[in-house]
A and B are shown apart, each in its own frame.
Chain A
Amino acid sequence: AQSVTQPDIHITVSEGASLELRCNYSYGATPYLFWYVQSPGQGLQLLLKYFSGDTLVQGIKGFEAEFKRSQSSFNLRKPSVHWSDAAEYFCAVDTNAGKSTFGDGTTLTVKP
């Protein structure tokens, strides 16, 4: 069965600093990979997704993620964080069978 690990429960960065959120997955074939953001009191919003092709994926709000098959990773990055980026971030995997598995999430705090 597939699994998703987000090793960092909570990350704090200063506004303007760069950000990297880690995601590792376990699945036999190439999965479909997603990053979502959830602001307090809101549902999830898709930031970006990877299916195939270029392993560096651009998303909304200035985010990008890189798929590294050798490391089974799909880390999310942003070069300069804004205070409005404070939220919870979820990595997710979809398999051929259409099963969705989400990570536990990483809470991002942005310091002024």
Chain B
Amino acid sequence: ETGVTQTPRHLVMGMTNKKSLKCEQHLGHNAMYWYKQSAKKPLELMFVYSLEERVENNSVPSRFSPECPNSSHLFLHLHTLQPEDSALYLCASSRTRDRAETQYFGPGTRLLVL
């Protein structure tokens, strides 16, 4: 138990659906992250939030829309996804955005797009 929870753990959706992934951290951290882990590809950093402001967006398609309403919660809104978006989506948090800080990962949401 890392103090970072993600829901749902598994999600199957069609290409026309709209769904949201939720991440919650109970560590009092100020930075939160979304990563994508695809089969046979390295882990990719998608978004970074620091003090509820998006500070990094690594060329992620607009069909992925993050939201950080407060420092404890992070959402990833999904719409009109493609089958190649099927992956494990990992959330992480750290005390600050400083790269020296340890990131704590949630267990991930396994997404399948049909």
**A interface list, Cβ under 8 A from B:** 4, 32, 41-46, 49, 51, 90, 92, 94, 98-105
- On whether the beta carbons of A42 and B99 are closer than 8 Å, the reply is no
Give the interface centre of A42, A43, A100, A104 by most chain B CB atoms within 10 Å. Answer: A43
**Distance, CA A46 to CA B95, complexed state (A):** 14
- On whether the beta carbons of A46 and B42 are closer than 8 Å, the reply is no
B45 located at the interface, meaning its Cβ lies under 8 Å from any Cβ of chain A in the complex: yes
Hey, which chain B residues are within 8 Å of A101, CB to CB?
Answer: 42
8 Å CB contact of A43 from B40, B97, B105: B105
- On whether the beta carbons of A102 and B102 are closer than 8 Å, the reply is no
8 Å CB contact of B105 from A44, A98, A102: A44
**12 additional A-B residue pairs with CB within 8 Å, beyond A43-B4, A102-B44, A104-B42:** A32-B99, A41-B107, A43-B91, A44-B43, A44-B92, A46-B102, A94-B99, A98-B99, A100-B99, A101-B42, A102-B43, A104-B41
Hey, which chain B residues are within 8 Å of A103, CB to CB?
Answer: 42
Chain B residue at minimal CB-CB distance from A44: B105
Given A43-B2, A44-B90, A94-B99 in contact, is the A100-B106 Cβ separation under 8 Å? no
